A and B are shown apart, each in its own frame.
Chain A
Amino acid sequence: MVDYAVLLQQVINGVSLGAMYALLAIGFTLVYGIMELINFAHFNVFMIGSFVGMWALELLGLSGQSQILTGLALVGALAFAFIAAMLTSGVLGVAVERIALRPLRGVGGTTGMITTIGVSYILFNVILLGAGADAKNYPNPMPVVRWEVGGAVIDLREVLIWGISFVLMLGLQLFVSRTRLGKAMRATAQDSEAARMMGVDVDRVIVTAFFLGSALAGAAALIFGLYYNYTSFLIGYTAGLRAFTAAVLGGIGSITGAMLGGIIIGLIETLGGQLIAVRWTDVIIFSILVLVLVFAPSGLLGRAAPTKS
């Protein structure tokens, strides 16, 4: 017997998770598309973003889940926290690029990737030492509003998560497809040498990619905190690895692919947990990573073959 209300509830849970993974996956994909670099520091830029969002909310005098705001005050508080988390994460991402990666430009192979692993550990330990190891009770000023839909429950939080994720992804898509800088990004992704010869400032494109990817990770991080009412120095790793899988599944380098991959991974996690067993979901997700890498490295929406020389 299949209980459709429960399945619907798991789909709702999965889309919320997926929206978060998608925002995080975009950061991997943007940077990979332009530099062919997997940026492992992204995991912990995300983690730091959640702390910055928490501090921003605490700065407004909020703590725990019992201080509820409504109307304009709620919108204002959330906007402030989102701006703080996104700006700080964005700047942090740019700093990582400027300090640790730019000096290595032109050095081939895996040097850049390994450097980002090192940076990731530094960020991880900075938060561990600075903020402590205990799990943090994340302030959440959102009122508990619930709607019953076909036996499943949708929370106001979830609607907000979907809405904010959608707006951010739409904004990114418009930026990349409509603006001059977006065009430069696409050109660099296609062939950075040719783009440089055509007068594209490749360094500026790279900085933009890092900023946008990291800022979206900051948004995902605040969403994470508000969704789970929790953060800790540990959160980057599991969320980051799944988002990375989402980016690979969608076709690394493809922005729409990352969004699609995120939602699919979110749904696999919840529906797999419901229909098979929760302890198997990691096995399923990471088997997908391996299978995609081996049999379809371009993913769902990725380019058929790399155009780089």
Chain B
Amino acid sequence: MPTRRTLLVQLPAAAIAGSFASRTVFAAEKSITIGITVPLTGSDAEGAILIRNGAMMAVDDANAEGGVAGYTINVITLDNGTTTAGQYDPAQAATNARKLVADQSVVANVGPEMSGSGKAMAAIMSRGNLATITPSSTNPDITDPKFASQFAPAGKAIYFRTVTTDAYQGPNMANYMAQVLKVKKVYILDDSGAYGVGMANAFEEQAKKNGMTVLGHDELDPREADYATILTKIKALKPDALYYGGVSLAGIKVAKQSYDIMPDIIKAGGDGVYGAPMLKGSGFPAMEGWYATIAAPYIAENPDVKPWIERYTKKYGQGPGAYSFTAYDGTLVILDAIKRVAATGKPVTRDAVRDAIQTTHLKTLQGEVSFDENGDINSRTVSVFRCYHNPQYPVEDSLHQYKYLGVAPQTA
């Protein structure tokens, strides 16, 4: 019978021996971690869940097939939202970036959803040389070499995107408004966030180039309840269209109150007004007729993608959103990079994974993904949608409540 002392000595030794044994004998138990950082708390939660689910599809598929190059893929999910912000919170995103960088098992990250979070995370990720692939954050500054000292201080691109940026999303919608909708006078609102301000400014610049009259551009406080004052002011200026750059926290109130005050004008926004949070919070009739864009090709009606959508819907009990596809694509890019690093025989480190992501040429749901030297996707497609209520489907089902209208015209 072992005494307490022998037990104390023997147990750790046995544990160490055991772990060595398992490492050598069962190669498949090697594991590496990828992060998923999206705002699961607050008003962005529903969109964030669609992204997380898209990413998890890719991870679960890979693990079901025995992992990637012998590695089981672990996932660490971090919440970029807080109750104090009520939506995504850049301060929390920065904290999460530090956590990811500190955890040596993490080789890459999927996220963030929001550009405001991206701006807070990029420098930290850059110093840690940890690559992140965002499926939805579209603010162009983060990957713009002009701001490299701010967002990529270590030099290499670490912020990759499987969507294009607002340098295309805002202006292309301005082109669509001018060329297709024949808008002459527009009023612009944004929600004071990094994404919203960037979108609205890019839109404004191109709208002016297209000869539209910009009657005004105001910033909204997203925690404010009452926008009737500003909307009444806008109504008196008799615009043909209202363009809103921002996410759902302010967007819902803009949709509801502008429906009451000026139901008949053209209303449009970016990918912030595309998706479940807007639909569920605003409902119909407030959302009816809104134009929205996403910064990626629209593939949900593509026959090759149908089986994927069915699999997703079966797995999560709800249909995917536009950025479930890009999240899945982004995760595929990371898994492919891990596989390519492992194939060279080098250790799978975050440095090696970053370099492999940079040279990606991978066939994904949206087509071939490759990146320029700043981390931006080479495809520049912006898709335009319009909201029409389809009562046969749940109100938050974005695949059925938005009708795809086509690709927004590129600036020549």
Contacts and interface: CB of A to CB of B under 8 A. Distances in A.
Interface stretch (B60-68, B91-99, B215-223): B215-223
Given A133-B86, A230-B252, A230-B253, A66 B229 contact: no
Interface string B208-234: 000000000011110111101110110
Given A10-B232, A134-B277, A232 B86 contact: yes
B224 A228 contact: no
Interface in B40-55: 41-43, 45-46
17 contacts: A6-B232, A6-B236, A10-B233, A13-B226, A13-B232, A65-B285, A66-B284, A124-B83, A128-B83, A133-B45, A133-B81, A134-B46, A135-B248, A135-B281, A273-B230, A273-B233, A282-B221
A6 to B, nearest CB: 4
Interface of A: 3, 5-6, 9-10, 13-14, 17, 64-66, 124-125, 128, 132-137, 155, 224, 228-230, 232-235, 237-239, 269-270, 273-274, 277-279, 281-282
Contact of B252 (A17, A133, A135): A135
B232 A134 contact: no
Interface in B232-266: 232-233, 235-236, 248-249, 252-253, 256-257, 260
B41 A278 contact: no
A278 B230 contact: yes
Contacts of B226: 13, 17, 228, 269
Contact of B43 (A124, A125, A135, A270): A135
Q: Chain A interface mostly helix, strand, loop or mixed? A: helix
Given A134-B46, A228-B256, A238-B224, A278 B229 contact: yes
Given A134-B280, A273-B230, A274-B232, A224 B225 contact: yes
B232 A9 contact: yes
Contacts of B86: 133, 232-234
B346 to A, nearest CB: 43
Interface residues of B, number: 38
A32 B64 CA distance: 64
A136 B281 contact: yes
A112 to B, nearest CB: 24
A228 B83 contact: no
A232 B368 CA distance: 41
A63 to B, nearest CB: 8
Contacts of A124: 83
Given A13-B226, A13-B229, A64-B283, 18 more contacts: A5-B236, A6-B236, A10-B233, A65-B286, A133-B43, A134-B281, A135-B277, A135-B281, A137-B280, A155-B260, A230-B281, A237-B223, A238-B223, A270-B229, A273-B229, A273-B233, A278-B220, A278-B233
A86 to B, nearest CB: 20
A105 B2 CA distance: 63
CB-CB nearest 6 A-B residue pairs: A273-B229, A135-B281, A6-B236, A137-B283, A270-B229, A278-B230
